[in-house]
Structure formats: structure tokens, C-alpha cells
Amino acid sequence: MKIVCIGGGPAGLYFGLLMKKLNPAHDITVVERNKPYDTFGWGVVFSDATMDNMRVWDPVSAAEIQQAFNHWDDIETHIKGEVIRSGGHGFVGIGRKKLLNILQARCEALGVKLVFEADVQSDEDYPDADLIIASDGINSRIRGRYEAVFKPDIVTRPNRYIWLGTKRLYDAFTFLFEKTEHGWFQAHIYKFDETTSTFIVECPEHVWQAHGLDQADQAQSIAFCEKLFAQNLQGHALMTNARHLRGSAWLNFQRVKCEQWSHFNGRSHVVLMGDAVHTAHFAIGSGTKLAIEDAIELTRQFKELGDAPAHIPDVLARYQALRAVDVLRLQNAAWNAMEWFEACGERYCDQLPPPQFVYSMLTRSQRISHENLRLRGKAWLEGYERWFAAQAGLNVPQAVPPMFTPYTVKGTTLKNRVMVSPMAQYSAVDGLVGDYHLVHLGARALGGAGLVMVEMTAPNAEGRITPGCPGLWNDAQQAAFTRIVDWVHQHSSAKIALQLGHAGPKGSTCAPWQGGGMDQALPAGGAEDNWPLLAASAQPYLPDGQVPRAMTRADMDAVRDTLVASTRRAAECGFDWLELHCAHGYLLSSFISPLTNRREDDYGGSLENRLRYPLEVLRAVRAAWPAQLPLSVRISAHDWVEGGITPDDAVAMARAFKAAGADMIDVSSGQVSPAQKPVYGRMFQTPFADRVRQEAGIATIAVGAISEADHVNSIIAAGRADLCAVARPHLANPAWTLTEAAKIGYTPVEWPRAYVSGKSQMESLFAREKAQAAAVPGLSAAEQANRAAGL
């Protein structure tokens, strides 16, 4: 094959040498616009796992890179006068120029032709090439030429950064956080050779502008950064090698991803590689990693499918199908890390104490979890666990997983941070809960959770979702709930809560296994007649659903009063906690979302107006609920529909509910419109709880795809939420909390005394499984941790 790599960065050079190694008969040329020893970066970073991969594919260049690289295990963070160091992270730093020189020399040794100072304008400059690798960077001309084919999605991020160097040498990957009168700056620093360290300075746009850096030239910008970080630089200067850039050297990161990676131009197959096809933010240092692993995977496919021109279409199709999955996973992690740094000045630097700030930063990508940190540095993590337990009021010598620390709200203390989510069971009769609910809730109270919450309970018959939903509007219902509350208090150490809400436009529907199914209106002539619905506006939840009546002021008064009456009954039942449901498209939610509130009076229009009635209800409920008991509010923080509620709105909502008497916000999302398009994934709603907690200054409950102890520990330890609501895992296993404690080897956990004989057996079974799945012998802690995190 005749192969041309346009762009002499890591992707083009490494692919060129690997393919020449695979088959010396290939005619391969790498074309670079710059001179052989020009480079416009400082150091680059990739993980131990990538280095392992390179050793397999080309031991010769890997050995040279290994001699030149700087390896570190430690991350050191400086913030608010404290210096915190954690270990076991396992990354490699090398000068970009040195890396390119090694790859250039290896290419030449193998017979790859290198052409420098050739500014290629088009792939058509090489009409006789079988394969053209467009590794021409983030501003790829080739990608731009075939934009309609590649369909790039390019997002310019708001933070500004400047890529500098210094002769001060650092023995750890170092993060500096400095506060100015206008906001926070951060520096990402790592040593990459024996004399030089990379020094990237980053800040939000508004902070950058407030300091006049938008008017500063490079020399003035460098002088500013030297003064800002003078204490840490210890007299060392900052340097730039970006003199080729006009004006300021401050940049905005661009996230690139393409729908299609390859194209046949009529003569040659063109495939994008490296930054031309995807970028990953420097917050996790993976741009070079992506480029190198692109080259490896494409070579692997030629090796497996055949490296003759006839095989190119199949190779490229399979290459994208396989590689796109890994790239997307890494880009998602990089996006999370990038957003953390973009928001840290507003959300974390001031709010979190330094130890928790560092934990939050280390887990920012959501790929490094609590137990992954234990693999990286057990001593550091256990020290953090002891610190966290002390903040929760525990005075114990041993480390306690954060999920098993107590939490106090008002006069109620939960034994741990796990909550059994309110999950509709559709098993009540005329709103009356029975033996089924006693067994359901009682089993989960015995299962170790700190708080068990009853499914949404209606204040009147018309407020139910289905005929099988519970209510609390008469004495019989109150007596039935009192029986359950008393049982939970007598037989377990869990607290029990009631979620109170009105179904509004989503009422009078079938149970999921009956009639037309979930959200479908009750069939005409059935055992239960449809009842009239109320909502903020006369809009059905489903396009063909029952149309609710837009509430009048009299309707609002009546519903508010029924909710207050149910609140008083809940207090008489002995519930420890009350939650007001203002989410998921139910009645109060229908006022909040602009998708469902089309009113033109004082209760419609602006968010302030749309919140007017839910806040009125909350204040009335708060007044009726005992002052010493907690009251939370569940919200939908994101409607997942254009024009609906956004996370920005969620922060404003939380502030308003806090001012009206809420002690905690239960942060969910969606279920307001059937047109929603959620982006699912593990812990996918936790970022909303995190943001509300930090920016609105109120405790939160995280919900959504939280399914293991590692998730809960990571969320609670990082301060992303104060409690975690676990739903479906509790349906599968009422003793989920006790099971997860055994899985992670935490034995000082309370079991129901009648079940204690099963405790040691479960713990020993999990201990045996853990021993059998022990890490591969011979790997360092950092290598084990990076493999586990997929880095």
C-alpha cells in the first residue's frame, strides 16, 4: 500500500512506523508543515496503561521513550494554605519535542519517508495514495474539506488557558489554586524532562477579562502569571514557546468529535486520526494517549483483516466501530474533568474544606472511584475516611466508609447515608396501605438503610396516580400508616419518611401491569372510573391523554389545604421525615416547568411566577410539620427537553425552596415530558445534586443509577450530595446496604439481631471472591488502579 500521513504529530508518526513494521513493503510518507525540531507545546502526558500498549507494539521506541520520560505516582494540591499529596496515580510525562524526535528517528530507521516544511492544502495532493491519514490537528484542513461527510461536532469551552513552561522542577503532578479579587485561577504542572516543567494556567472568562488579560500581550500575561504564582515558583520564570501566535497566547479548549471518521475521495481512502477526529481536555491529559491508541488500533485491524488495498473499507469500518467506544468513554471522562475545572472557582474552591476539595478533584472524571483511590493509595484514603468520619461526629480509630457515617438534619439523625427511594408499588386499595406495604417497607428497614421513604402518597382520591396508589386523607389510612411506622421503629434502627404529592395531570392512569400500562388513562367502563384532573394548564401529559383542568385560585386553595391536612396526619403517624413532591410532571411540578405551565396570570411566565404556588404550598406544609423534623423537596433539575427546566433553573429553584423552609433538596430529573431525551449513565443525575448543593448552599439527595457502595462512597466523600437514594437495587435486594457493606469488607455494621448468624457467612463469601479476583501479580498499585479505571 501507498500510505501518506498528513501531519507529523504522534498519531501520524506512530501509525507510520507501526505499519512499516507490519509490512516493510508499504510505501509510507509522513508530511509535516513545520521544521524537524519545531514544536509548539511543552510536555505531554499519558498513562502507564498506554505505555504498556506501546511496549507491545514497538519495544524499540517504547524503550527510548521510557528512558526519556518522567514517571510520577503522586498528585500534590495547594489550596487555601494547605498542601495535600496523594499517591499511586501512575502517569508518564515527556517533552513533546523529545517524543516527536524519538518517533521521527524510529520512522527513519524503518524506512518511513519524512517530509518537513510542506504545508499540505488537500488530500488530492496525493492522488496515487491508497490510504491518507489526516492527522493534521484540531484545525484539520482535510476534515474541513469534507465537513459534510465527517460531520464534526466542535464545542468551544468558556475557560481561558495559557500553556507555559518553567525551569522549576516538580516531583509530583501539581495543582495550584490561587484566589484573586476577581476569582480563582488554577495551574496544572508536571515535570517532563530533567530541566523543565509544563505550567498550564487556567481561569474562567470573566476572571480573565476582569484582570485585563484580554488586552494583555504574551509578555504581560506571563508577568501576571509569575506574580500570581510567585510564592510557588520560588524565583523561577515562566516561559512560552508560542511566539508564533498573534497577540495573546490565551486559548479556549475545543472539544472535537466526528460522526464519521473516514471517506473515499474517489481515488484514496481518507481517515481522520488524533486531534483531527477527537480531542480530550488536558484536565486528564489524554490527547497524546488518544492519538497513540488510534494508531495502534488501526494497525491492529490491518493486521487482523489484511493490509492490502482491497481490505481498506472493511478495516476502516471496523476501526471506527471499535475505537469509537473507547474514545467516547475517555471523552466523557475528560468532559467531566473539564467541567469540574471550569466550575471549581464558583462551586468548590470556597465551599469545600481542602481535604474534601482534593477528593472531589481526584474523582472529577467519575472514572476514578472510592475503591479505585484505595488501590492507588490506601493510607491516604483511610486518612481521608477518618477525617470525613470526624466531620460527621464519629470519634473512632478505624477508617469508616463515608456511606456508613451518620447524618443529622434538624432533630433527626440517620445511621448512614443510604435512603431507600420512594418507589410506587400500586398495591393500595382506596388509598389504604396494607400487609404488602408493611412487608415491603419493613424488609427494607431491616436491610440496613438509614432512611426508608414511602412512595408518593396523595392528599385526596383525585391526587393519586393510579387506583393502587396510597393516600392519607382519612382515619383508616392514617391508622394503616401508623402501624407501619410503629413496626419500623420497633424492629429496626432505620428512620421512615413519607413523600407527599398530588399527581395532577399524570393521575387517573393504569398500573404498569394493567390496562394500557404506565401513564395510560384508565379504560372507560373499567373497574375504576376516570376522575377529573387538575394542572397548572390544560395540557395533557401524553398527547392523547386526558386533558386536565387549569387550576383556579379556589382549586389552589383546596389542594394546598388537603396537603396541609395530610401533613398533620403524617406527623400524627410518627413519620420522622416528610418530602414534598415537586418533580416528574406531577401537580406542583406542572407549575414549575415552562413545558407544562402556559398560564398568563401571576402563576405563569417567569420562573419566579411559576414557583409562586409550589412555594406557597411548601410554606403551608412547613408550618404544619413539626419544626424539629426534616422536610425535603424533590425537584426535576432538568427536563431533558429544549425549552424546559435546566440545571441553572434548578439552582434558583433550590434557593427559593430553601428560603421557604426546605431542609434538603432531593435532586431528580425528567419525567415531565414524554419528549425527554435523557443522557443515561451511572450516577447520571448526581452532577445536578452536586451543583445544587454547592451553588444553592443546601444539603442534597442524589438519585439515579446509583447501584453499588463504590458509587455512594464516591458521591458522599466528594460532597456531591449528603444522602444517596437507591431505588431498583432495593427492589432486587431489600438488604442491599448490608450486602454492600459485606462486599467492601466493612464489618462493624449493625444487623438485625435475628439475622446476625448470616452476617459472618456473607462476609466470608465476599472476602473469598475478592481474594480470587486479586490483581495480576507484579503490577504496581498505580498500574492496577489505572487498569481498573480504564486509563
How far is the CA of 304 from the CAs of 138, 300, 308, in angstroms?
30, 6, 11
Q: Are 592 and 614 in contact (CB under 8 A)?
A: yes
DSSP structure class, residue 510: B
Angle formed at CA 629 by CA 625 and CA 635, multiple of 5 degrees? 75
Closest CA to 289 of 277, 276, 272, 274: 274
- What's the CA gap between 570 and 251, in Å, rounded? 57
- What's the CA gap between 70 and 197, in Å, rounded? 10
Helix (H) or strand (E) holding 323: helix 312-347
User: Which are the contacts of 318, defined by CB distance < 8 A and separation ≥ 6?
Assistant: 301, 305
- What's the CA gap between 9 and 323, in Å, rounded? 19
Burial group, residue 259, by CB count within 10 angstroms (0-12, 13-18, 19+)? exposed
Q: Answer yes or no: 586 catalytic.
A: yes
Helix (H) or strand (E) holding 633: strand 631-636
The amino acid at 161:
Y
Q: Are 550 and 537 in contact (CB under 8 A)?
A: yes
Q: Are 416 and 403 in contact (CB under 8 A)?
A: yes
Q: Are 688 and 650 in contact (CB under 8 A)?
A: yes
DSSP lists the bridge partners of residue 154 as 256
How far is the CA of 164 from the CAs of 199, 239, 240, 522, in angstroms?
5, 6, 5, 66
- What's the CA gap between 29 and 135, in Å, rounded? 13
How far is the CA of 3 from the CAs of 108, 220, 271, 312, in angstroms?
15, 45, 11, 11
Q: Which three cell numbers stand for residue 690?
A: 452536586
Instruction: Supply the DSSP string of 512-527, one letter for each residue.
Output: TTSTT-BTPBPPTTSS
Q: What is the dihedral of CA 312, 318, 324, 325, to 10 degrees?
A: -160
> φ, ψ for residue 591 (rounded to 5)?
-75, -35
Annotated catalytic residue within 586, 603, 613, 746:
586
Instruction: Supply the DSSP string of 419-443, one letter for each residue.
Output: EE--------BTTB--HHHHHHHHH
- What's the CA gap between 384 and 316, in Å, rounded? 47
Angle formed at CA 451 by CA 449 and CA 452, multiple of 5 degrees? 90
How far is the CA of 456 from the CAs of 24, 179, 579, 589, in angstroms?
69, 45, 9, 14
Closest CA to 22 of 154, 132, 111: 111
Considering Cα of 143, then 147, then 153, then 159, what sign does the dihedral take?
Answer: positive
> φ, ψ for residue 10 (rounded to 5)?
-55, -40
State the catalytic residues.
Answer: 586
